[in-house]
């Protein structure tokens, strides 16, 4: 996270507008599909998005084996090809090394789950919020809880003013081996 993004540094006010303004996403709900071509260990899906009349995408990726690991990336390629911002549900703790305004190492350490955005100098910074820290277990348990926080942090709504969602399907529904008819006499 130490490389300088020259586009953000040069056009920081435009970046802030794209980051702060309401973004409308569609459809309301998407399904994730296996990414067999690029990475077979992940499922992915995407929403279309508009912000300040610029088209964009919200890409969602989730690991097959461990569903608590997922990422959400916002792209507005008419501004830059890199992500405007992103959310990581899991992974290693980040250190905002270039932030000189933080004196203590503890202030520069950012645990997951966390967000990423760019600062006025073009550096990517990681940060979290008290709400995200308080909901970390729920964010790991349910991708839609994470998406809710992404929508709140990055001002994303559907046309119905609702947060976006990922459809969650179970391939094999849970089955109970309990005999629900045990102890009942049937007349035969």
Say if 87 falls within a structural domain.
yes
Judge whether 75 and 108 are in contact, CB under 8 Å.
no
Say if 79 falls within a structural domain.
yes
pTM of the model: 0.82
Q: Does residue 171 register a pLDDT over 90?
A: no
Say if 188 falls within a structural domain.
no
The better pLDDT of the pair 136, 170 is held by 136
Predicted confidence at residue 169, as pLDDT, reads 63
CA distance 151 to 64: 23
Per residue in 49-87, pLDDT (tens digit) is 999 889 999 999 998 778 889 999 999 999 999 999 999
Say if 94 falls within a structural domain.
yes
User: Range of 38's domain?
Assistant: 6-166
CA distance 137 to 70: 14
- Over residues 155-180, the mean pLDDT reads 74
- Over residues 98-116, the mean pLDDT reads 75
Judge whether 62 and 70 are in contact, CB under 8 Å.
yes
Tokens 């090809």 locate to 81
Say if 10 falls within a structural domain.
yes
The two tokens of residue 118 are: 């760019």
Number of folded domains that form the chain: 1
Strand-pair category, 29-30 with 165-166:
parallel
Say if 46 falls within a structural domain.
yes
113 prior amide bond cis, ω within 30: yes
CA-closest candidate to residue 95, choices 114, 69, 68, 82: 114
State the CB neighbour count (10 A cutoff) for residue 88.
20
CA distance 46 to 58: 5
- Over residues 117-136, the mean pLDDT reads 93
- Over residues 152-158, the mean pLDDT reads 93
DSSP 8-class letter at 33: E
Say if 174 falls within a structural domain.
no
Strand-pair category, 23-26 with 156-157:
parallel
Say if 113 falls within a structural domain.
yes
């Amino acid at each position: 996270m130490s490389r300088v993004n020259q586009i953000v540094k040069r056009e920081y006010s435009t970046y802030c507008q794209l980051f702060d303004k309401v973004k409308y996403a569609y459809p309301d709900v998407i399904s994730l599909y296996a990414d067999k071509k690029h990475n077979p260990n992940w499922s992915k899906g995407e929403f279309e998005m508009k912000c300040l009349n610029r088209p964009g995408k919200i890409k969602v990726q989730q690991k097959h084996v461990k569903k608590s690991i997922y990422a959400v990336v916002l792209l507005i390629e008419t501004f830059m090809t890199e992500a405007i911002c992103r959310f990581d549900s899991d992974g290693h703790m980040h250190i905002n090394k270039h932030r000189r305004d933080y004196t203590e190492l503890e202030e520069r350490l950012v645990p997951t789950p966390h967000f990423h955005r760019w600062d006025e100098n073009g550096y990517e910074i990681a940060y979290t919020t008290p709400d995200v820290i308080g909901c970390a277990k729920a964010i790991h348990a349910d991708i839609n809880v994470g998406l809710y926080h992404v929508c709140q942090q990055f001002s994303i709504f559907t046309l119905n003013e609702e947060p976006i969602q990922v459809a969650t399907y179970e391939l094999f529904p849970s089955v109970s081996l309990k005999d629900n008819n045990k102890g009942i006499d049937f007349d035969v």
